[in-house]
């Protein structure tokens, strides 16, 4: 079968590999769709640790083609998605329910073969059934939506909360929608690309800001800004130093900053401890998607979360190498690799 393999940092190739078989407690999944994520590009450039050679792709959905003898609750023909993050279940973090912090975490598409391939062997405990009539492309959004759900859960948004989201990529645009579902009545998105700002307004943002045209901090919390005095919750979804520093200034006293964006290891940002103390800011990190996959699947299947408008392009497996090895095209939000079958 065909698979997009990271052979070494900077070395990504379409390879012919042996079709996997389902182990005793695994499902053999015929991949229908797999999303290209910024992390795939980070892996290609060696900016995120992984264990090559490995088939990339951690945002996948597909159809069960075979099941191992110890599998129960799944049948051949089921449409499924998978939580790529495999926790050990034995360490102190796992045993206290904090599986995303597991010290022995191994991820599908990072440490073991993932979804940019025709087939994937998926451990049963990582699999989630999807409605049979759900579009395959929608199933591929469960993983990123699960990450955003964890962030929104941590933020504890209340009905009537005010929220700012910094960064209008797929993570920011899903977070805008979740903030609205959680009851926020003011949702401000800051991102440079006009097409993303327009999309955010269609998806629930009550206002948008172009950080390249004016001082976004002033435009949001300045005296004549959108929310003078600050917002209850700020989501940093851009993964850049400027937006982390800005997030601290946008939160109101007693407010919460949730860092979702991934910054290069070793990057430092400036903040004033006095400010943190004096304004009692809560600064939280949100990592991965512990126990959020089922809810993500339900939110997508019910239509409560819109994903169609986030899909910029659907491409074949043959095009995946070029897409991952190059920066995203302007205006692009999510590219999905879809099977031609
Ligand atoms: P993305 O498409 O790169 O979105 C981030 C966007 O932020 C950029 O495309 C850019 O859009 C915008 N941006 C850049 N500088 C900005 C600034 N100064 N002010 C406002 N916006 C700015 O990536 P994504 O897929 O949405 O992911 C977002 C971040 O979350 C990434 O760092 C990713 O690695 C991380 N992530 C974290 C988790 C987790 O578990 N915590 C899970 C998945 C992804 P414009 O060009 O429109 O400005
Ligand atoms: Zn563990």
What pLDDT shows up at residue 265?
Answer: 81
What pLDDT shows up at residue 95?
Answer: 97
Expressed in angstroms and rounded, the spacing between residue 85 Cα and the centre of ligand 2 is 11
What pLDDT shows up at residue 233?
Answer: 98
The whole-model pTM stands at 0.97
Nearest alpha carbon, ligand 1 atom 2: 169
Q: Is 287 in the pocket of ligand 1 (CB under 6 A)?
A: yes
Expressed in angstroms and rounded, the spacing between residue 326 Cα and the centre of ligand 1 is 16
Distances from the Cα of 187 to the Cα of 138, 175, 246, angstroms? 24, 10, 16
Q: Are the C-beta atoms of 82 and 126 separated by less than 8 Å?
A: yes
Query: Which one, of 65, 81, 177, lies nearest residue 137 by Cα?
Result: 81
d(Cα 236, Cα 148) in Å, to the nearest integer? 11
Nearest alpha carbon, ligand 1 atom 1: 169
Q: Which domains does the chain have, with CATH numbers?
A: 2-137+307-338 (3.90.180.10), 148-285 (3.40.50.720)
> Using CA of residue 329, residue 110, residue 79, residue 66, what is the dihedral sign?
positive
What pLDDT shows up at residue 340?
Answer: 79
What pLDDT shows up at residue 264?
Answer: 82
**Which atom in ligand 1 lies closest to the alpha carbon of residue 42?**
34
What pLDDT shows up at residue 34?
Answer: 98
Q: Is 20 in the pocket of ligand 1 (CB under 6 A)?
A: no
As separate numbers, helices (DSSP H) first and strands (DSSP E) second, the chain gives 11, 18
d(Cα 124, Cα 22) in Å, to the nearest integer? 10
Expressed in angstroms and rounded, the spacing between residue 36 Cα and the centre of ligand 1 is 14
Q: Is 240 in the pocket of ligand 1 (CB under 6 A)?
A: yes
From the CA of 327, the nearest ligand is 1
Query: Helix, strand, coil: what percent of the chain each, to 5?
Result: 30, 30, 45
Q: Is 169 in the pocket of ligand 1 (CB under 6 A)?
A: yes
**3-state secondary structure (DSSP) of residue 248:** helix
Residues with pLDDT less than 50, the chain: none
Q: Is 168 in the pocket of ligand 1 (CB under 6 A)?
A: yes
Q: Are the C-beta atoms of 49 and 42 separated by less than 8 Å?
A: no
HSE-CB of 83 using CA atoms within 13 angstroms: 23
From the CA of 96, the nearest ligand is 2
d(Cα 152, Cα 271) in Å, to the nearest integer? 23
What pLDDT shows up at residue 263?
Answer: 87
Q: Are the C-beta atoms of 128 and 80 separated by less than 8 Å?
A: yes
Q: Is 152 in the pocket of ligand 1 (CB under 6 A)?
A: no
């Amino acid at each position: 079968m065909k698979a997009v393999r990271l052979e070494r940092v900077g070395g990504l190739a379409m390879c012919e590999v042996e079709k996997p078989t389902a182990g005793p407690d695994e499902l053999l999944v015929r991949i229908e769709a797999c999303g290209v994520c910024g992390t795939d590009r980070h892996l290609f450039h060696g900016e995120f640790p992984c264990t090559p050679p490995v088939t990339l792709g951690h945002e996948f959905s597909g159809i069960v083609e075979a099941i191992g003898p110890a599998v129960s609750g799944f049948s051949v023909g089921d449409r499924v998605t998978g939580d790529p993050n495999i926790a050990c279940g034995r360490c102190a973090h796992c045993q206290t329910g904090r599986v995303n912090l597991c010290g022995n975490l191994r991820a599908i598409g990072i440490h073991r073969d993932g979804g940019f391939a025709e087939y994937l062997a998926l451990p049963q405990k990582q699999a989630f059934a999807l409605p049979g009539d759900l579009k395959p492309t929608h199933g591929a959004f469960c993983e990123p939506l699960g990450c955003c759900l964890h962030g929104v859960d941590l933020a504890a948004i209340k009905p009537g909360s005010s929220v700012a989201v910094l960064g209008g990529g797929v993570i920011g645009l899903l977070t805008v929608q979740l903030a609205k579902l959680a009851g926020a009545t003011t949702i401000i998105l800051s991102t440079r690309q006009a097409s993303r700002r327009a999309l955010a307004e269609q998806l629930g943002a009550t206002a948008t800001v172009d950080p390249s045209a004016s001082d976004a901090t002033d435009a949001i919390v300045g005296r004549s800004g959108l929310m003078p005095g600050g917002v209850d919750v700020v989501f940093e979804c851009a993964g850049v130093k400027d937006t982390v520093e800005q997030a601290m200034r946008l939160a109101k006293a007693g407010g919460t900053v949730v860092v979702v964006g991934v910054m290069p290891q070793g990057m430092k940002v400036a903040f004033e401890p006095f400010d943190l103390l004096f304004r009692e800011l809560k600064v939280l990190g949100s990592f991965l998607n512990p126990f959020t996959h089922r809810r993500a699947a339900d939110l997508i299947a019910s239509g409560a979360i819109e994903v169609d408008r986030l899909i910029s392009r659907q491409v074949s497996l043959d095009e995946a190498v070029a897409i991952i090895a190059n920066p995203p095209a302007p205006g692009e939000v999510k590219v999905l690799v879809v099977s031609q079958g």
